[in-house]
Structures are given as C-alpha cells and as structure tokens.
A and B are shown apart, each in its own frame.
Chain A
Amino acid sequence: MSRNDRNAGPAVERLCHLARTAGVVLGLVSCPAISVSWAAETPRSLSTLPQSLQIRIELSTSTLDFQQAGRPGLLAPQQQVELRVTSLYVPWSVVARASPLVMQGGRGQIGPERLFVRTSATQAQPGAGAGPGFVPLNGPVIVAAGSVPIYSTPLELRLVTLWQDTPGTYSGDIQFTAVASP
C-alpha cells in the first residue's frame, strides 16, 4: 500500500462519517466516489450507485478439521483461523452462518447448534455448551464489526460431539457475509 493509500484511509473514514450523518442515501451516492481516490480505481461518477460493497473478507484458511479420536466432547480444530476485513464502507460487520455437518455416505448429521464461534464481537451466552463467550452458529452470528477500513481478528471455533454421533466423516461449511451498516 502506498503512502497515498495509507493517508487516504482516515479521509475515507471521515467522508463516510459525513455521508452517514447526512443519511443512508447520501452515503450511497458519495461513497463510490470516495473509493475511487483510495483504491485508485477507475473514477466513477457521483451518480453511480454501488454495484458492490467493496467489503473484502479473507480467511487465513479455507478448511477446518475437527478430529475426534477418543470420547465425544468439545473439540478444537486443527487450524487457527484469522478473519481479515478490508472495507471502503464504515461501519461494516461480518455475519457467519453454518450449515449442518452431514455424514459422508451415511444418514447422520451434526446440527449447526453444535458448532460454536468466539470472537471479540460475539456476545457471551451462559450455558451454551462450549465455554464462555462461545455462541452457537445455528443462526446468523456477527463475528466482526468495525469502523475501520482494515481489521483482523482470530476466529475461535469449537465443535461439540455426542455419543450419538456415528463414527465417520462429516462435512459442511460456514458462510461469511459482509454487511454495510450505514
């Protein structure tokens, strides 16, 4: 990132703040123009509505493995996961939602309520089953939120297995979605 790009960050934030103060629609019209100067993209006219939010989410890994060798219980994945966000819009948030883990070649599945996440943005739910701060992914969960253009946070994930989970390999996914919060 060049010095100009670095200097542009606070300017973007200030302008977006002004845009937010003026209202949602003003933000819609003005923010694409702001993104041009910061991201050094082809300039767009002020009247162009955004075709994309330009909130970029990156994960340090694309696959997460949970291995249960002994008794069922609380499992931590083999990998560390870090979530990085680069955004031209502020504030923004990132929402995660999980699918069930379906047994390959079998009938069993592990529901998303047994897959848990913890970040600095998650709200503690006492007694959820995976430890303090962990929330189940059985619905959309805000895993990150910010008012800065560049942000990163570790994602801690846990899986709770039961004796009723038949031995085998289960697969599913967690979908991340960027949300602009004007």
Chain B
Amino acid sequence: MRDIRSVMPLAAALALAALLPATDPAWCQEPGPVLNVLAVIQPSMTIELSDNLIDFHADSGPGVYDADKTVDVSVATNYGSWTLNCSASPLIGTAGEIPASRLFTSNNNTLSSPDEGAGATYENLGAQKLVAQGAPQALAVVNTLRFRLKTEWTDRAGSYAGTISFTYLAEP
C-alpha cells in the first residue's frame, strides 16, 4: 500500500492549483526582449498633370485663343502644408517671341477680377499665379487650369514654344 506521505506533495499542489486563476496566471508569463522600432519618413511631394502639352491654334488673325485642352493638376503629399504656383516663360519663335504676360490662366479658384485682356477670370502669367494649397493628401485633382493666348498684329506668323512651370512651397 502506498504511503500517504508520498501523495501529500501532490495533494498540496492540487490545493494550491485551486487558488490559482483559471487562465493566464502570472507565473505562466515571462517578459522577453524588446525590439526597438524606428521609422524614418522623408518628405514626399508628387505633382501630376493630365497633359504635358497644350496648343493654341491662332489661325484667325490677332485675338484671344483658348488652348486646345484644359489641364488637371493632381497632388499627393505628406507635407503638413503646401502651396502650388505656376509661371510661364515667353513663347519663343523663329521670328520673335510672345511675352508670358500674354499667356493667361483661369482655374476653379480664380475670382472674377478686372479683365486683363483675355476675360474676367483670366490672369496673365507675367507673374507667378497660385494654383492650389492644402494639407497632406493622397493623389487627387486639386485644380483644373484653363489657358488663353492673346496675339497681336506685331506677332509674326510662325510657331512659338515655351513652358509653364509648377513650383511648390511646403512645410513638414
């Protein structure tokens, strides 16, 4: 017959078990190592245009001509605040140039202002013009730009080419 003393530790342990929590007792867990995690996020700004070429078909004598298409400007950025501007270079041709001040733009945010020669909401691109401003965002259209060109009798016949540049100012 088994000595009762041999089962006493087991009985004592069983009694102790009854006192332990049913789940997740403290003795069942032990803290281990810690993995330090570092994430470095660099500033990011993406500007996309729906088209990178616009044409003015000024083939009916001097006057005001619309560009053949509008241009959607899309922005994606993680900057806390940003401002997007555009400006134009003169249009250079074989027989001369058309100054940037005769290129005009209008967009969804342009307020009606005194006519500068191409319509009430059109502003000349002789100086930088505001396109949009905002906060962090995924890629989305921020504005749609319309362009006009005013030609004069002094502009010689021919082809002219130039650029409209977009620049941004941003703060993290």
Interface residues, chain A, with chain B CB atoms under 8 Å away = 23-26, 28-29, 46-47, 49-50, 52-53, 55, 57-59, 61-72, 75, 81, 94, 98, 101, 110, 115, 159, 161-182
Query: How far in angstroms is the closest Cβ of chain B from A89?
Result: 9
- Cα A164 to Cα B30 with chains together (Å): 37
User: In the complex, are the beta carbons of B28 and A173 less than 8 A apart?
Assistant: no
User: In the complex, are the beta carbons of B32 and A57 less than 8 A apart?
Assistant: yes
User: In the complex, are the beta carbons of B39 and A169 less than 8 A apart?
Assistant: yes
User: In the complex, are the beta carbons of B78 and A167 less than 8 A apart?
Assistant: yes
User: In the complex, are the beta carbons of B41 and A161 less than 8 A apart?
Assistant: yes
- Cα A120 to Cα B20 with chains together (Å): 32
User: In the complex, are the beta carbons of B28 and A179 less than 8 A apart?
Assistant: yes
Q: Is B63 an interface residue (CB 8 A)?
A: no
Known contacts A71-B76, A164-B78; A26/B39 CB under 8 A:
no
User: In the complex, are the beta carbons of B30 and A64 less than 8 A apart?
Assistant: no
User: In the complex, are the beta carbons of A178 and B37 less than 8 A apart?
Assistant: no
User: In the complex, are the beta carbons of A67 and B40 less than 8 A apart?
Assistant: yes
Q: Is B172 an interface residue (CB 8 A)?
A: yes
Residue of B nearest to A27 (CB): B13
Q: Is B79 an interface residue (CB 8 A)?
A: yes
Of B42-50, B98-106, B117-125, B152-160, the stretch lying at the interface with chain A is B42-50
Query: How far in angstroms is the closest Cβ of chain A from B45?
Result: 10
Residue of B nearest to A94 (CB): B32
User: In the complex, are the beta carbons of B37 and A98 less than 8 A apart?
Assistant: yes
From the candidates A52, A165, A177, A182, name the one contacting B78 in the complex (CB within 8 A).
A165
Residue of A nearest to B27 (CB): A50
Residue of A nearest to B12 (CB): A47
